[in-house]
Amino acid sequence: MQTAFRLENLSSGYEHVRVFEGLNLTIEEGKVTTIIGPNGCGKSTLLKTIGRILKKHQGTVYLQEQNMQNLSTKEIAKKLAILSQTPIAPGQLKVEELIAYGRYPHRNNVNRLTKKDEEMIEWALTVTNTKDYRNRALAQLSGGQRQRVWLAMALAQETSILLLDEPTTYLDMAHQLEVLDIVKNLNEQHCCTVVMVLHDINHAARYSDQLIAMRQGVVMETGTPQEILCADVMRKVFNISARIMEDPATKTPVCYGYDVLKEDNQ
């Protein structure tokens, strides 16, 4: 099994804050891996660091067994795409134009789209089911539509790895599943490696092959949803006593209720 990412002794954070230190981790290719953990545990920081949006402090990130430091940002952009948590674009920009931005790393002539570019844009529109409003301005879209358009832009980048930072935030329940279904389809039909951060552990369990549970900058556990969604790990990671059962429809574990543990348990 090839690895999408291998982190060696990785430390990262912001200017004066070290969020995590000495992290060693492997993320496999061809799978959906989701990072979960309480607020401020460093899950977004980890995702941003392996996506080179955030500069690492120390250590090495290997992207498909190549040291990321030796790759130019444009070469990296051909291998991985990141959808950030709060993407911004001018409201007058048209859906199709935004998606075409995703072709940037592949374009030689910046003023004209090639046939291949147009094919990829068409594919991204189809996969994300955004064809109907391709000519609309971004300001005219609903939150769920807009999130799918952003996803389409990342897809147009034609990468084998997709990093998603809380792709379901601010969406209602139906739209959350819509986005996650697209992600799942990409993984299953198009062999896309997906690494994402999710807040909802039930979604994480349902849509992931692997979970990474973090707390205070430390990876507490990694494993399959069945291994991670258990009372023991939930207590260690989220400080909750969770009641877990198997969803008979999806055959994945769900947390159907929980209580916060008292601080003195720590």
Partner 1 sequence: MHNNASRVAMTISILLLMIVGASYLHMTNGVFDMSVIDVLKTLLRIEPNPKFDLVIFEFRLPRIVIAALVGVGLGMAGVVLQGITRNGLADPGILGINAGAGAAVVIFMFFFQLRVVTADMSSWLSILMMPIFGFVGGTMAAALIFSFAMKNGHLDMQRLILTGIAINSGFGALSLFLSLKMNAQDYESAAVWMAGSIYNANWIFVVSMLPWLLLLGFYVYRKSYLLDYFQLEEDSITSLGIALEKEKIKLLLASVGLVSACVSVSGSIGFIGLMAPHIAKQLVGIHHRYVMPVSALIGACLLVLADFIGKTVFAPAELAVGIVVSIIGIPYFLYLLVKSKA
Amino acid at 124: A
CA triplet 149, 151, 156: central angle to 5 degrees? Answer: 95
Measured distance CA(211)–CA(192) in Å, rounded? 17
Question: Residue 219's closest CA among 50, 2, 54, 15?
Answer: 50
Assess 87 for contact with partner 1 (CB under 8 A): yes
Specify whether the CB–CB gap between 80 and 159 falls below 8 A. Answer: yes
Assess 14 for contact with partner 1 (CB under 8 A): yes
| Cβ 262 to partner 1 shortest distance, Å | 37
Assess 101 for contact with partner 1 (CB under 8 A): yes
Q: In the range 157-176, which residues lie near partner 1 by CB under 8 A?
A: 157
Give 160 or 224: the residue with its C-beta nearer to partner 1: 160
DSSP secondary structure string, 116-151?
Answer: HHHHHHHHHHHHTT-GGGTTSBGGGS-HHHHHHHHH
Assess 43 for contact with partner 1 (CB under 8 A): no
| Cβ 83 to partner 1 shortest distance, Å | 8
Assess 75 for contact with partner 1 (CB under 8 A): yes
Measured distance CA(41)–CA(22) in Å, rounded? 15
Assess 88 for contact with partner 1 (CB under 8 A): yes
Site for partner 1 (CB under 8 A): which residue of 24, 60, 74, 246?
A: 74
Assess 116 for contact with partner 1 (CB under 8 A): no
Q: Which stretches of the chain bind partner 1, using CB under 8 A? A: 14-15, 48, 51-53, 55, 72-78, 81-84, 86-90, 92-93, 101-102, 104-105, 110-111, 153-154, 157
